[in-house]
Amino acid sequence: MDIIVDGYNVIFKISELGYTTEKCDIEVLRNRFLAMLEQYIEKRKHKLIVVFDGQGAGNSSEIRPAGIDVVFSRQDLDADEEIKRMVRGSENPRHITVITSDRDIEQYVKKYGCKVVGALTFYRDIKKKVAHLQAEGQEDSRLTKEEDDEPISKYLGPSKSEAQYWLKVFSKNGGKSADD
């Protein structure tokens, strides 16, 4: 089974990730979301494709987390049209689950027999599975809590690409601190 995620549609439904339209902040949100997906997909055998509008910012178009295909829509298409194109071109669209809260995409892909899961439902599933995986793999009692009011970012920490982004941001001063 393939899972196609309407990237920004899902990100902007998850208040715990934050919401912004600033270009550099969108990249951070995207990286947080991909880090969350990395942990979610870790033990799954599904192909996961995350589709974003445009070419991304900086080197973000090179992000290729393990087990996740990151696709930025072509210049002449937005992410919605890219998702529709992927479904239309699929050999077996009945084996595709599309993650979106966009009604237009939902109606379109259902005509091809795809399953549709809403953004918040998908997020709740990710949060449960990540918490469960961490509880299995960690002896630390702080990480075994499964409280729904805790933000997932508390457990995840920064992804490798997010850490690299912040290292670049803070190294622009040539290693000088703000107090120098």
- The structure's pTM equals 0.69
The answer to whether residue 179 sits within a structural domain is no
- Residue 138 belongs to domain with CATH number: 3.40.50
Q: How many structural domains comprise the chain? A: 1
What are the residue ranges in the chain where pLDDT is below 50?
57-62, 139-145, 175, 180
What CA–CA distance (Å, rounded) separates 127 from 131?
Answer: 6
Residues 6+ apart with CB under 8 A from 33: 7, 10, 11, 14, 17, 50
Q: What is the pLDDT of residues 40-61, one digit of tens each?
A: 887 677 789 999 987 654 434 4
Domain residues for the domain of 146 are 2-171
Nearest to 52 by CA among 117, 88, 100, 89: 100
